[in-house]
Amino acid sequence: MIEIKNVNKKMKDHVILKNISISIKKRICVGFVGHNGSGKTMLLKAICGFTKIDIGEIWVDNKQIIFSEKYIKNAGVIIEQPSFINYLTGMDNLLALANIQKMISKNDVLLALKKVGLIDAKDKKVKEYSLGMKQRLRIAQAIMEHPHILILDEPFNGLDKDSITEIQDLILDYKNKGTTILLTSHDDRQIDYLCDQVYELNGGEIVE
Ligand SMILES: Nc1ncnc2c1ncn2[C@@H]1O[C@H](COP(=O)(O)OP(=O)(O)OP(=O)(O)O)[C@@H](O)[C@H]1O
């Protein structure tokens, strides 16, 4: 389903990704681990078509991903900061994003907010949200369009212990329903709990 073939990327002579080849089957959860700067985010960006690769190919659902031309489809993505509008409510932010693709209704947005535990805060402005609430909103944004693939860079960032457990179970539920999930985390507990396959990156290379 996701084929990464000999992917290499350099930025200003600095190796970012080196000889990466991975096959990811449908309906599994794959974890990427490694130190800060090891290339996890860049690899996820490359899979989405958000960053250029120098050598290699990436295929998702038999369609080649090409930077700034052919992005990943049917995917819910959390990579880096969301561009939420601070003076709008959480609900209105999601409705504005949903309006881009026009694939889902207000009810789908409400369902996503309910799933991440933000239903009671839906009418609060995002500027009044805590870090953890913003992270939940990002997760709601990733799941609201019922994607077949979830690409989650550090989905547990900013969450407290109980929230981590809730979001972990939410991701597990998606996996059990057949969603393919790629995620990064610095915490082995979430990786062990969720992932069927784990790749360790070091200096842009897969070492394990
Ligand atoms: N815009 C950029 N220009 C040049 N180099 C960059 C840029 N963005 C990232 N890098 C470099 O790419 C390498 C991989 O970064 P990446 O963000 O993928 O690491 P990571 O494994 O996700 O780290 P972290 O665990 O801190 O999130 C690092 O050496 C980083 O310095």
ipTM above 0.90, yes or no: yes
Ligand 1 pocket check: which of 16, 153, 183, 186 to mutate, most ligand atoms within 8 Å of Cβ?
Answer: 16
Collect all residues with Cβ–Cβ distance below 8 Å to 133 and sequence separation of at least 6. Answer: 90, 118, 121
Distance 109 CA to ligand 1 centre (A): 32
Cβ of 33 below 6 Å from ligand 1: no
Q: What percentage of residues in the chain have a pLDDT greater than 90?
A: 95
Distance in angstroms (rounded) separating the CA atoms of residues 121 and 144: 17
Distance 42 CA to ligand 1 centre (A): 6
Single-letter code of the amino acid located at 7: V
Q: What percentage of residues in the chain have a pLDDT greater than 70?
A: 99
Cβ of 34 below 6 Å from ligand 1: yes
- Say which CATH superfamily domain 1-74+149-208 falls into: P-loop containing nucleotide triphosphate hydrolases (3.40.50.300)
Closest protein CA for atom 25 of ligand 1:
36
12 Cα nearest atom in ligand 1:
4
Given the structure tokens 């949903």, which residue do they identify? Answer: 98
Q: Can you give the residue ranges of every domain in the chain?
A: 1-74+149-208, 81-147
Closest by CA position to 83, among listed 69, 67, 59, 100: 100
Closest protein CA for atom 3 of ligand 1:
11
Cβ of 44 below 6 Å from ligand 1: no
Residue 125 has pLDDT above 70, yes or no: yes
Q: Is the pTM of the predicted complex or chain greater than 0.90?
A: yes
pLDDT in tens, 85-103: 999 999 999 999 999 989 9
Residue 208 has pLDDT above 90, yes or no: no
Distance 95 CA to ligand 1 centre (A): 31
Q: For 117-145, what is the mean pLDDT?
A: 96
Distance in angstroms (rounded) separating the CA atoms of residues 160 and 140: 17
